[in-house]
Structure 1
Amino acid sequence: MLARQRQNTILEMIADQGSVRVATLVRKFGVSDMTIRRDLEVLAGQGLIAKVHGGATSRDGSSTEEPGFVRKSGLQAAEKEAIARRAAAMVAPNSAIALSAGTTTWTLARQLVDVPGLTVVTNSIPVADVFHQSGRSDQTVVIVGGVRTPSDALVGPVAVAALRSLNVDMLMLGVHGISPRVGFTTPNLLEAETNHALVRAARRLVVVADHTKWGLIGISTIAQLGDADTLITDSGVPQEAREQLGEQIEDLVVVDPVEPASS
């Protein structure tokens, strides 16, 4: 079993049981104590678990914990690039799309700057800045107002009101967590309301999320799994998860990340 597959299984066990012990994982996977401890270090470094003496637990307060944009932007970079490339291929010239806040949609925005005649609606300051820096005169960017969150999203009543009168061909939605029980979630209540408005404004919903989002649950549901027309994720998603997602989402796209070449 590859390290990534083992770590995904560990995440699933913690999601189901709330905690795991190193000794239990050693027996389950047939690997050394040191290997398991390295796995837990990786997962803890990504903010997915909390290490404790002799094992690991789910993160305290994870349903409302909202990592900042800078912290998240450095995680799963290869996966996000692959997801962004696949999502960008779905966007036609002269179309109107919406991009939610998030580091995956920010990565996608950088793939879209060369699409001509694009109209982009977003509540993300970094996403809007990507298009502003490109300097294309044939693109239109509509950024909603609102209260700024730790993830650099503009949310709240002002943002929702601005979105009520807009209609777009497609929404590219980044999410905090994916669960077969509660759907796509966010740790921020105000951001959930703004994302609801984005979903209502779009004819097609495309969720872009790397494999680490599987099993995470934020405090507020944005949409159910079946509401998504397409989910683009990466090959780190466990097979069991793919089967559950495929039962509810018509178009499940799994991409392979390309790791940067070592120097």
Structure 2
Amino acid sequence: MSENQNLLAEQRRTLILDEVRRRGGVRVNELTRQLGVSDMTVRRDLDALARQGVLEKVHGGAVPVVDASTHEPGFEAKSGLELSAKEDIARAAAALAAPGSAIALSGGTTTYALAQHLLDVPDLTVVTNSVRVADVFHTAQRSAGSRPGAATVVLTGGVRTPSDSLVGPVADQAIAALHFDVLFLGVHGISPRAGLSTPNLAEAETNRRLVQSARRVVVVADHTKWGTVGLSSFASLDQVDTLVTDRGLAPEARAEVSEHMRLVVAGEPESGTDI
């Protein structure tokens, strides 16, 4: 990390978290030198990251939190992480939605960010099992009133998860009867060994149905999802057409991804090809 007095708190905390994960732990005095900020600022950043559950404070520093494969953070806890990366990913992914197409959006904070960028794409039919995603479209339509080109939104039924997704037999049955041009899919984890995974068994089955009903599958995931494995896998890497991610994805991971799918790194020229 290079020293920078002018880093915003969010950027600084992202750098701290990346350093903790990369090195397996850091000391406060190391971070003050690397970031060029005060001891008190670093400690406040560590407190904030610890409250989000992404690292653990120890005497003199911090270490990563190793989540159980069944741990599922709530929507609010995840919404504060990797904000800039999610915004960049959402902007890049929105360009893949063609006017007049039928798309599906799964639950998650990255698809929630994406939904806000899709409001300007005309004549979409949007199927989602995310209460939060549906609210984005409904709120926009209430504010603007009836307007030409507004999206038609279908919210599946089901049982609500900590991520505010609707899952279970009701959702599965509704999704199985539909066909989408593109599925935009948020994930808990993505890895060569486990493919796409989630800690929630019911959500895994619903995501499996979403993948089966889509002509193309676009995964939207920031770099911290790479290498994470949840309890239940629901798709292999070869079932994904495109991964839209951020610049933090390591070169080795980029090479691995490009063997299976098209890779879109937000803010960079494309690497890889359509499969």
Asked if TM exceeds 0.5, the reply is yes
Listed as ranges, the matches of 1:1-263 within 5 Å are 1-2=1-2, 8=18, 10-11=20-21, 20=24, 22=26, 32=30, 41=46, 44=50, 47-52=53-58, 59-135=65-141, 136=146, 138-249=150-261, 251-256=262-267
Instruction: Give the 3 Å change call, closer, same or farther, for CA 105–134 of structure 1 in structure 2.
Output: same
Deviation at 1:12, TM superposition (A): 5.1
Q: Please, what is the CA RMSD of the aligned residues?
A: 2.8
2-side partners of 1:206 and 1:234: how far apart? 14
Residues 21 and 54, structure 1, Cα contact 8 Å, conserved in 2: no
Instruction: Give the 3 Å change call, closer, same or farther, for CA 255–60 of structure 1 in structure 2.
Output: closer
Deviation at 1:6, TM superposition (A): 7.9
2-side partners of 1:197 and 1:69: how far apart? 22
Instruction: Give the 3 Å change call, closer, same or farther, for CA 140–127 of structure 1 in structure 2.
Output: same
Q: Which runs of 5+ in 1 are unaligned?
A: 14-19, 258-263
2-side partners of 1:99 and 1:209: how far apart? 13
Amino acid at match of 1:67: P
Deviating more after overlay: 163-172 vs 60-69:
60-69
Deviation at 1:157, TM superposition (A): 0.6
Deviation at 1:199, TM superposition (A): 0.5
2-side partners of 1:105 and 1:178: how far apart? 16
Residues 62 and 217, structure 1, Cα contact 8 Å, conserved in 2: no
Q: Which residue of 1 aligns with 2:7?
A: none
Aligned-residue identity in percent: 55
Q: Which residue of 2 aligns with 1:260?
A: none
Task: Please report the TM-score for the alignment, with normalisation by the length of structure 1.
Answer: 0.81
Instruction: Give the 3 Å change call, closer, same or farther, for CA 60–77 of structure 1 in structure 2.
Output: closer
Deviating more after overlay: 123-132 vs 221-230:
221-230
Instruction: Give the 3 Å change call, closer, same or farther, for CA 49–95 of structure 1 in structure 2.
Output: same
Deviation readout 1:163-213 (Å, 9 max, x if unpaired): 111000000000011222111111111111100010011000000011121
1-side partners of 2:117 and 2:31: how far apart? 42
- Paired residues in the alignment total 244
Amino acid at match of 2:253: A
- Structure with higher RCO (Cα < 8 A, 6+ apart): 1
